[in-house]
Amino acid sequence: MSIKLKNELMALNLFSILLLLCILFLPDNSLRIIPGIPFILFLPGYSLIAALYPRKTGISGTERVLWSIGLSIAIVPLIGLCLNLIPPGISLIPVAISVTSFMFIMSVVAWYRRRSLVEYERFSVSFTLSSLLRWREQTTLDRALFVGITLAILCAICVIGYKITDPVAEERITEFFILNVEGDAYDYPDQVKLAEEAKVLIGITNSEHNEMTYRLEVKVDGAFYNMIERITLGHNETKQTEITFSFTHVGDNQKVEFILYRGDETKPLVTPLHLWIDVFE
């Protein structure tokens, strides 16, 4: 029995779109991991190879499979690197949309290049089921490559399955940061008149997976200045508090320190933040 796909690229894109819909509308369904394996480890590289080699000749079937896996491993991290430079950054849905878009573009290029060839020169996926059973007729290299690819795929499935059934505990952290009064992470006050007050925003983000209560201590030039008690935040909640402070004497490089505590603890929760400010008359 012979099987031939004249336009496997259409099936590839339909598969990608269906997986993307599953990600969008079934975000908590772990079964999408199974089709996600070829989506990440094979299809991006296959679409690129299809665009580069539209003819039957030039590259063997085994080489096409190996290059598809190798290029996929290279393409997906590069897409992630590009996403990291722009909003919304690296997350599941943007990565899925970007990979799907890449495969669609490569498929269009491959289709256009194949279309310019006569039909018997165009690459197409075809195999005979009986030929799959002729193991002894395969060369030693082809058999070794087949076994290697099969083991690699099985290892990937096992690793992913293990991560699903025994996930790593989620990281628990508190983010602590300084912003200027406009809410930017730059252009902090560095020169203040003695009679004036300086202002900054102190931000706290709770990623501890529990409701947390914090205390914020402010020190000016080594001396206690103020304490803000009971800043209560739920998980993934962020609060920005305006802090106003002033100075008692003139001097350069006076240190303003912001120290965050958890609850009634006396040890700082994270590394204190500080600013160096010149005070003049």
Q: How far is CA 260 from CA 137, 212, 243, in A?
A: 71, 12, 13
CB 187 within 8 A of CB 236: no
Q: List CB contacts of 168: < 8 A, sequence separation 6 or more.
A: none
Cβ atoms within 10 A of the Cβ of 262, count?
15
According to DSSP, the residues that pair with 226 across neighbouring strands are 218
Give the pLDDT of residue 130.
Answer: 53
CA distance 240 to 203: 4
Q: Which two tokens stand for residue 169?
A: 């505990």
Q: Which two tokens stand for residue 138?
A: 């395969």
CB 219 within 8 A of CB 225: yes
CA distance 14 to 67: 22
Give the pLDDT of residue 140.
Answer: 76
- Domains belonging to the chain, first-starting first, are 2-165 (no CATH), 173-280 (2.60.40.10)
Q: In 3-state terms, what secondary structure has residue 138?
A: coil
Left (φ > 0), alpha (ψ -120 to 50) or beta: where does 242 sit? Answer: beta
CA distance 81 to 90: 8
Length of the chain (residues): 281
Give the pLDDT of residue 269.
Answer: 93
E strands, 153-222, are: 173-179, 191-193, 198-207, 212-220
> Which amino acid does the sequence have at 251?
G
Cβ atoms within 10 A of the Cβ of 53, count?
17
CA distance 56 to 5: 13
pTM of the predicted protein model = 0.54
Q: How far is CA 222 from CA 61, 256, 267, in A?
A: 71, 8, 17
Give the pLDDT of residue 14.
Answer: 92
CB 174 within 8 A of CB 204: yes
Give the pLDDT of residue 214.
Answer: 95
Sign of the C-alpha dihedral computed for residues 220, 224, 226 and 228 taken in this order = positive
Does residue 88 have a cis peptide bond before it, meaning omega lies within 30 degrees of 0? Answer: yes
Tokens 């009971």 label which residue? Answer: 230
Sign of the C-alpha dihedral computed for residues 93, 94, 95 and 100 taken in this order = positive
Q: List CB contacts of 61: < 8 A, sequence separation 6 or more.
A: none
pLDDT in tens, the chain (281 residues): 555 666 789 989 999 998 888 888 876 666 677 788 788 888 999 999 999 999 988 888 778 888 898 899 899 989 988 888 887 677 788 888 999 999 999 999 999 999 999 888 888 887 555 555 555 666 777 677 777 777 776 676 666 555 545 545 567 899 999 999 998 888 899 999 998 999 999 999 999 888 999 999 999 999 999 999 889 999 889 999 999 999 999 999 999 999 999 988 999 999 999 999 999 98
